[in-house]
Amino acid sequence: MAQSLESFIDSLDPSTLPRIMQIQSGIYFQGSVYEMHGHECCLATGEVIKVIGFKISKVKAESCENIENNNFRTTVELPLDYPGFFKVLADPCPYTSVSDIIKSVQIGHNRLGHPHFWSNMDIQVKDIFIKEGEHIVLNSLAEADGEQYVNCTVTREGQNKTVRLPLAHEGTFYECEDDQFYTLKEIMEWKIPKYRRRVVKLAKTLAAWEPNPYNEYLQSDLSLVPVYEIQAVMKLRKDIVHIPSNLDVEVVDVTELYDVNSFVQPLSLIDVFKRPDEDFPLLAEIIEYPDHQHIYNSLKAGRVIVIHEKHFAKTTIASENRSDLNKKHFLIPKSYKGRFKRRPREFPTVYDLELAIKSNEHLHVIATKPFESDYAEFSSVCIGDQFLVHQCQSIEVSCEGDKRIVEALACEKIVEKDYKQVLLPTYMEGSFVEVIHDKKQYNISDICKHFSLPFNVKVSVRDLSINDNLAALPSLRIEEEIADPCLLVSLLDSSSECFRIPVQRVNMSIQVLQEPAINVPCSTPKTIVEEISEDLYYMMRRYENSTLHPPPRPPKKPQSPVTPTTLRLFPPPPKPPRNSPTEIPRTKAKSQMHIPDIATKPENILHSVTITEHVKERTDHSAPETDMMLLKATSLAVDFENLDLSDKHDYEYIDENTVEDLRKQLNENEHQNKKNCKIKRENH
């Protein structure tokens, strides 16, 4: 039966591809296919086309108010990269079985591919019991003993319980309310159910996009309709053609009447990666390769390649460590031969310190923000206080006779030449900068293995085998290690050129010529440090790091005020390492501390912290006017970023006596400023 091209694609199950369709009533000019702006836009009646894939190219949005009131429907086309966030409204129509859900929604490997449902009745299947109203998270499909299941997670009493539901189980299921916000592209890729409407509501449009030409259409709930771009192969053409799904043509499915193998069979890299291991190596010809992917410039359409194997390559996500928004982001492979030295890390909360010491690190930090404790069990913190961080423990605190258990971090506070045992609550909104005593050089594998991420470094030895663009960066933040699905590929006529190609970021189509391929040797793949866009960076971080736990909430504060502690500008310096780079011994030897020359080289300061800025919140409410004048007069920029002892070219050592002299000079300046403030106050 003939149907419109749009309805044909809407009802098409991607798992049944490829499909062959025939044009029943078409639009055309001269010839069977008319190409305009890179897309096939006119098709002839009787044309036979093999559909090998389709993707969403744009979105049509209709106001739900007009649909409900049967008014004239106002439709607007939204770009997939619309700069805003939308809230997905739960579908009010129930699903009648688990199989009905699976046919409609998408289940994937990341957080967006785990839909939530609930049942209006208790579910009892064999030893599985799910209560009415409990959230059921669909994770993946499985098959056991000839029966298909869906692996689910049910959260009960704070614990995640894994259960299996057979696809044949019938019931009444509803979509759960979703409190997350999504981009339009994410909704189109993961949240559009088959045969159902998806209704969304605009939550926020980025302020940078003004004026907004779509603003008048986005005031009410919107029903989204995707417009697809069909990837197809013609009978007498070797390349892939792209057909918009909203063409006014009628088609009929004739897959059963034609031999699918009689067409060219292009495959994407993802299709090749899904093949079993025994299919490799493969001999293939490149059919389509976008010109903008210049990293692999030897791979061009028409060239014959050998695909040796598939594997998951360990890759590290890293970013340029700078405070502004114009950061560069990189993917560093494990084959990178450069070496790194540590740079100081910043910890915005005590909770971040707890996460860092889980890798058995010994941390030495300096506080850059004051904190006044409301509980006697916890220590207050002044700017410049230094701590040796140990382990987390549970502490019982009292508040107006009510006792609570609070997680706290056991530390040693360095006071003069002594070490005082103190506790810092994990909810503390402090700020700390790491003091580096480690002068070793590490490769990228050592960092990911022995240290908790994120981790601040800089390149100390560049990789001479490549044009190392990491060496020019003053500081780099190693953020996350991911498993990147890749294909190992070499050129048939130049086996020395071997590449590790990521299948999820390289859009390339090939045609398999021979399987398995002849035994072609494979050389070591080239090391490529890939610079990625900001959008791709956030997508990769979002999908990989799907479970982010916020720091704990503080307990209720007592009503009685606590006497504020005295603010000290500079604490005593730490003692130097003796035996190991991460151990701080307690000896009476002179300590050495890196103090940058900020007075003579202000342009070299990467990240300065001004004391006035850090105590502004505190002084705005508690300090008298004279104290504020004093703080402004004694503001001192401290280069915490350059407190690193690891580079022999950009620091100098000074002994403890010199530091004491500096402290005395600061104290004298403070007393003089107090006198000046007192004189001004008397004159006034």
SS3 per-residue string spanning 46-66: CCEEEEEEEEEEEEEEEEHHH
Rounded alpha-carbon distances, angstroms, from residue 160 to 117, 136, 335: 15, 11, 38
Per-residue model confidence (pLDDT) at position 407: 85
Closest CA to 269 of 561, 501, 563: 501
Query: Residue 324 gets which letter from DSSP?
Result: S
Closest CA to 477 of 358, 325, 317, 608: 317
**Cross-strand partners of 363:** 389
Per-residue model confidence (pLDDT) at position 476: 94
Q: Which of 149-163, 250-264, 432-446, 615-629 has the lowest mean pLDDT?
A: 615-629
CA 68 to chain CA centroid, Å, is 39
Listed as own residue / partner, the contacts of 466-472 with beta carbons closer than 8 Å and 24 or more positions apart are: 466/526, 466/527, 466/528, 466/529, 468/338, 468/529, 469/529, 469/531, 470/318, 470/330, 470/332, 470/338, 470/529, 471/338
Rounded alpha-carbon distances, angstroms, from residue 148 to 12, 96, 129, 454, 679: 22, 17, 18, 40, 86
Q: Which residue has the higher pLDDT, 573 or 285?
A: 285
pLDDT in tens, 157-178: 778 888 889 898 899 999 999 8
Q: Residues, the chain, total? A: 684
pLDDT range class, residue 462, cuts 50, 70, 90: very high
pLDDT at 5 over 60: yes
Tokens of 394: 């549970």
Looking only at the bridges linking them, the beta strands covering 3-4 and 39-43 are unpaired
Q: Which of 24-38, 74-88, 146-160, 274-288 has the lowest mean pLDDT?
A: 24-38
pLDDT at 77 over 50: yes
Q: What average pLDDT does this structure show over 648-672?
A: 53
Residue with tokens 């209006």: 120
Percent of the chain with pLDDT over 90: 16
Q: Which of 2-16, 44-58, 251-265, 550-564 has the lowest mean pLDDT?
A: 550-564
Per-residue model confidence (pLDDT) at position 581: 39
Rounded alpha-carbon distances, angstroms, from residue 601 to 170, 215, 596, 650: 73, 49, 9, 11
Per-residue model confidence (pLDDT) at position 13: 80
Per-residue model confidence (pLDDT) at position 516: 62
Mean pLDDT of the chain: 75
Residue 8: CB atoms within 10 Å: 20
Question: Which residues, 6+ apart, have CB-to-CB distance to 251 below 8 Å?
Answer: 2, 3, 4, 5, 8, 21, 22, 23, 24
Q: How many CA atoms are closer than 13 Å to the CA of 334, on its beta-carbon side?
A: 14
Residue 179: CB atoms within 10 Å: 7
pLDDT at 256 over 80: yes
Per-residue model confidence (pLDDT) at position 231: 86
Q: What average pLDDT does this structure show over 361-370?
A: 86
Q: What average pLDDT does this structure show over 555-563?
A: 47
3-state secondary structure of 127: coil
Closest CA to 361 of 422, 309, 436: 436
Q: Which residue has the higher pLDDT, 682 or 266?
A: 266
H-state helical runs in 17-108? 64-68, 98-104
Per-residue model confidence (pLDDT) at position 585: 39
pLDDT at 223 over 70: yes
Q: Could you tell me the end-to-end alpha-carbon distance of the chain, in angstroms, rounded to an integer?
A: 95
Per-residue model confidence (pLDDT) at position 193: 84
pLDDT range class, residue 579, cuts 50, 70, 90: very low
Q: How many CA atoms are closer than 13 Å to the CA of 346, on its beta-carbon side?
A: 19
Exposure letters 366-397 (e unless 16+ CB within 10 A, then b): bbbbbbebbbeebbbbbbbbbbbbeebeebeb
Looking only at the bridges linking them, the beta strands covering 123-125 and 494-502 are unpaired
| DSSP line for 431-500 | -EEEPP-----B-HHHHHHHSPSSEEEEEEE--TTS--TTTT-S-EEEEEEEEEEEEEEEETTEEEEEEE
pLDDT in tens, 404-459: 888 888 899 998 888 989 998 888 877 899 998 888 999 999 998 888 888 899 99
Question: Which residues, 6+ apart, have CB-to-CB distance to 467 below 8 Å?
Answer: none
Per-residue model confidence (pLDDT) at position 569: 39
| DSSP line for 302-314 | T-EEEEEEEEEEE
3-state secondary structure of 627: helix
pLDDT in tens, 187-211: 888 888 877 888 999 888 776 566 7
* Dihedral, CA of residue 143, residue 145, residue 148 and residue 150, to nearest 10: -60
* Nearest-10 crossing angle of helices 656-683, 625-633: 140
Per-residue model confidence (pLDDT) at position 298: 80
Q: Which of 262-276, 562-576, 591-605, 653-667 has the lowest mean pLDDT?
A: 591-605
pLDDT at 269 over 60: yes
Say if CB 249 and CB 93 are below 8 A apart: no
Give me the sign of the Cα torsion angle 554, 555, 556, 557: negative
Strand segments (E) across 122-248: 123-125, 128-130, 136-144, 147-156, 159-166, 170-175, 181-182, 198-205, 222-234, 241-244
Say if CB 184 and CB 176 are below 8 A apart: no
Question: Which residues, 6+ apart, have CB-to-CB distance to 147 below 8 Å?
Answer: 166, 168
pLDDT in tens, 514-525: 666 566 777 788
Q: What average pLDDT does this structure show over 222-230?
A: 87
pLDDT in tens, 625-648: 434 333 333 333 334 344 443 443
* Dihedral, CA of residue 62, residue 67, residue 72 and residue 74, to nearest 10: -10
Rounded alpha-carbon distances, angstroms, from residue 263 to 186, 428, 511: 33, 65, 11
Say if CB 322 and CB 475 are below 8 A apart: yes
Tokens of 593: 């501390």
Q: For the full predicted model, state whether its pTM sits above 0.95.
A: no
H-state helical runs in 482-624? 534-544, 611-614, 616-621
Pairwise CA distance, residues 438 & 459, whole Å: 15
User: What amino acid is encoded at 455 in this protein?
Assistant: F
Listed as own residue / partner, the contacts of 440-443 with beta carbons closer than 8 Å and 24 or more positions apart are: 440/341, 440/342, 440/581, 440/646, 441/339, 441/340, 441/341, 442/339, 442/340, 442/341, 442/342, 443/336, 443/337, 443/338, 443/339, 443/340
pLDDT in tens, 317-345: 999 988 777 789 999 999 999 999 999 98
3-state secondary structure of 672: helix
Per-residue model confidence (pLDDT) at position 116: 92
Angle at CA of residue 140, ends 135 and 143, nearest 5°: 120
Q: Which residue has the higher pLDDT, 195 or 139?
A: 139
Per-residue model confidence (pLDDT) at position 396: 83
Say if CB 90 and CB 59 are below 8 A apart: no
Closest CA to 244 of 224, 228, 226: 228
pLDDT at 486 over 80: yes
Q: What average pLDDT does this structure show over 64-76?
A: 64
